[in-house]
Amino acid sequence: MSEAPLTPLIRLRGVTRVYGEGQAMVRALAGVDLEIEAGEFVAIMGPSGSGKSTAMNILGCLDTPSAGEYLFRGVHVERLSRDQRARLRRRHLGFVFQGFNLLARTSALENVELPLLYRGEPTAARHAAARAALASVGLEGREGHTPGELSGGQQQRVAIARAIVTQPTVLLADEPTGNLDTQRSREIMELLAGLNRERGITVLMVTHEPDMAEYARRTVRFVDGLIAGDTRRPQLQPQAAEAA
């Protein structure tokens, strides 16, 4: 007797998202089918208005479909209440944004602790977890620095530490290198690739930069609210390819 196929970590079935009504109606997603397995690193690309950001907002439980199904580990997310979706975000999802979104007058350690504070974790446990997260992104010794005392690349590392301090199942990164120069961008991408490879964190990344997308093992392209392409590549990172 053959084994039943494993359920994908994420599955979208016929997902649409419509904003407005009548002549002002905008169909951001027009019926998206997508499956993502645990441990994948997926780059999501497409022109402005293609629906990629709307899809990421739905995947991140920041928005809900107008129609269709979103299953996370087999659970119908579109049927959850707002509070249930918030709990799913806190327990399973981490977020990294282009603009870092750090509190300006707050230390790196305190910025990273924030998700644990929202969870009600004890102070000692928060400190220990935040220090470990900062060390894992190469910022040991910078715990007391505020964002203004850190470079752009270091600020993004703090943001990544904040995203992974809760040990999320999925890391959603929205243009994580958009505000960085080429060298810092590569460092951040190598860090994300390492988290995916070594910790098994599923990474979903929106980017408009093809060279950054090369770090992912799969690229999904959106056009006019639909998936226009879905390609996979070998598990060879760009820096390894250059050395080969």
Instruction: Provide the residue range defining the domain that includes 190.
Output: 10-234
Examine residue 128 and state whether it is found in any structural domain, yes or no.
yes
Examine residue 239 and state whether it is found in any structural domain, yes or no.
no
Residue 4 has pLDDT above 80, yes or no: no
Residue 183 has pLDDT above 80, yes or no: yes
Q: What pLDDT score does 118 carry?
A: 84
pLDDT higher at 11 or 118:
11
Instruction: Give the confidence band of 5 by pLDDT, cuts at 50, 70, 90.
Output: low
Examine residue 82 and state whether it is found in any structural domain, yes or no.
yes
Examine residue 67 and state whether it is found in any structural domain, yes or no.
yes
Residue in 8, 5, 4 with CA at minimum distance from that of residue 70: 8
Examine residue 85 and state whether it is found in any structural domain, yes or no.
yes
Task: Compute CA 98 distance to the chain's CA centroid, rounded to the nearest angstrom.
Answer: 11
Examine residue 55 and state whether it is found in any structural domain, yes or no.
yes
CA 194 to CA 71: how far, in whole Å? 27
Whether the CA torsion 34, 38, 40, 42 is positive or negative: it is positive
Domain count, the chain: 1
Examine residue 53 and state whether it is found in any structural domain, yes or no.
yes
The least confident of 54-58, 105-109, 135-139, 235-239 is: 235-239
Q: Read off the tokens for 98.
A: 């282009």
Instruction: Give the confidence band of 158 by pLDDT, cuts at 50, 70, 90.
Output: very high
Give the mean model confidence (pLDDT) for residues 175-180. 91
Q: What is the CATH number of the domain that holds 148?
A: 3.40.50.300
Match 């419509």 to its residue by tokens.
18
Examine residue 240 and state whether it is found in any structural domain, yes or no.
no
Q: Does the predicted TM-score (pTM) go above 0.85?
A: yes
The answer to whether 228 touches 44, Cβ cutoff 8 Å, is no
The answer to whether 160 touches 187, Cβ cutoff 8 Å, is no
Whole-Å CA distances, 40 to 16, 130, 141, 157, 243: 24, 25, 31, 21, 24
Q: Dihedrals φ, ψ of 198, to 5°?
A: -90, -30
